[in-house]
Amino acid sequence: MFISEKTYITKDKKMFDLIVENHSLLLCLQHFEIDFAVGGKTVDELCLENNIDPGAFIIVANLYNGFMPEDHALNTIKNIHSVLLFLKKSHSYYVRDKYPELKYYLEKLKNNLNSKDHQLIERFFNEYFEEVMEHLKYEDEVAFPYFKSIQHAHETREKNSFSVNEYRNHHTDIETKLTDLKNLFLKHIQLESELNTKRRFLTTLFELEFDLKIHSFIEERVLIPVIERLEAELNG
């Protein structure tokens, strides 16, 4: 039986049933450092066992199931550390898994592309990867440490010279160029052979694009508003 619609995730849902329905939730669990052996635990039980904020997890997991959070759902997040964990582990996944995988497939396709197409794609990919690395480095070394400290600053009334506005101005959508690369292969790049490799390359692009869109959504619609609220309370 084919399931066309995914379940809206709540605290009382069994994680096992949710994974069987949508295996993409395995990646969501990985980003939260939750083991896949979920047994018969509910979402709430699994979050409590792994020190994950249930509100944050439910918002993110529902994005993997295709549901956008309501504005009031942001108020259910009690601890931004879970959000930062998800984002940082996403960074590791992109750098250590998906980009090397894409590079491997591009190298395999090299002999089946004319030199002009290969040079174009290789330059596009390398420039994109450099942009991504700069984006991730800024977040890991500048923005995220500040966000991690803001809860403590909020509790102790300590002010910080950095602000979420600086992060917003620096923020870029790293998934846009990836979509351009995907569209280039789907519309213009033809191969006489190696369709299996091309399919794997495109599948990886689709997977990465999907995860990056969730990543950007969490940063823009979840993280930034929460930090803005904490900063406003801190500044009186």
Return the minimum-mean-pLDDT range out of 86-100, 150-164, 180-194, 205-219: 150-164
pLDDT at 163: 77
pLDDT at 176: 78
85 and 144 share a domain? yes
Rounded to 10 deg, the angle between the 99-109 and 195-217 helix axes is 150
Domain boundary pick from 76, 95, 128? 76
72 and 107 share a domain? no
Q: Model confidence at 151, in pLDDT bands (50, 70, 90)? A: low
53 and 92 share a domain? no
58 burial (CB, 10 Å; 0-12 / 13-18 / 19+) is buried
pLDDT at 225: 85
The tally of domains found in the chain comes to 2
pLDDT at 178: 83
105 and 90 share a domain? yes
70 and 104 share a domain? no
Q: Tell me the C-alpha distance between 182 and 212, whole Å.
A: 14
Q: What's the predicted TM-score (pTM) here?
A: 0.89
Domain boundary pick from 55, 76, 97? 76
Any domain includes 144: yes
Any domain includes 3: no
3-state secondary structure (DSSP) of residue 14? strand
Which of 80-89, 165-174, 194-203 has the highest average model confidence (pLDDT)?
80-89
pLDDT at 44: 98
Q: Tell me the C-alpha distance between 76 and 70, whole Å.
A: 11
Any domain includes 100: yes
Return the minimum-mean-pLDDT range out of 13-27, 116-130, 133-147, 155-169: 155-169
Q: Are 228 and 80 in contact, with CB atoms under 8 Å apart?
A: no
Q: Model confidence at 67, in pLDDT bands (50, 70, 90)? A: very high
Q: Is the pLDDT of residue 83 over 90?
A: yes
Domain that holds residue 54: 15-76
136 and 34 share a domain? no
Q: The tokens of 12 are what?
A: 């009382």
